Amino acid sequence: MTVDSPLIMSLQVEIAAPAEPHVDWSIGYAPEPDESGNRFLLAHLHVATGDGTADIDVSGVLQGDNAGALLEESEIVTFERQLDSVASLNLLYFTARTAALGALGLIESRPEIPTSAPKARLARLVRADGVEASHQTSEPAEA
């Protein structure tokens, strides 16, 4: 499996009271693949420094073997283990890290953000109530 097409979805930086510097990294994955067999990823990087915080959301597309498999509840742990070992997940982290460094630079903060991605918290994304997958079709309404 590989990750492609990283895109910054949101970026927020705030001047904040000094806090213990920390970095949190999490990645969510779509509950089902899209029509081409790829799976949407949404990653979040939170960086706190002595000067402020940055929150970056980055999306990407997971492609390749097993990326598009429909997951039964019993297969989630195995899929997450496989996903956790995908080296190209670093592409999402590097994109988010670069944005965080630039954003924090605006408030004159020079944080030390690890160059290698920390262990990510993985989670299956949840579809909002009433929202269908974009590739599913519904029966036409009767007149």
- With respect to residue 111, please indicate whether it lies within any of the assigned structural domains: yes
Helix (H) or strand (E) holding 78: helix 76-84
The count of C-alpha atoms lying within 13 angstroms of the C-alpha of 42, restricted to the half-sphere facing its C-beta, is 12
Residue 143: inside a domain: no
Is position 35 within any domain?
A: yes
**Is the residue at 142 inside a domain?**
no
CA 65 → CA 74, 88, 99, 113, distances in Å?
Answer: 18, 14, 30, 32
CA distances from 61 to 15, 34, 42, 110 (A): 32, 10, 9, 30
* Residue 133 covered by a domain: no
- Structural element, H or E, at residue 105: helix 89-106
Position 103 in a domain: yes
45: in domain: yes
**How many domains, the chain?**
1
Quick one: pLDDT at residue 139?
44
**Tens digits of pLDDT across the chain (143 residues):** 888 889 999 999 999 877 788 999 999 988 888 888 888 999 999 999 888 999 999 999 988 776 666 666 667 777 788 877 778 888 999 999 999 999 999 888 888 899 999 998 988 888 776 656 554 434 444 44
Domain assignment present for residue 134? The answer is no
pTM of the model: 0.81
Parent domain of 80: 2-124
In 17-75, where does DSSP find H-type helix?
A: none
Q: Which CATH number covers residue 44?
A: 3.10.420.10
CB atoms within 10 A of CB 56: 25
Instruction: Give the residue among 39, 41, 48, 53 at the shortest CA–CA distance from 11.
Output: 53
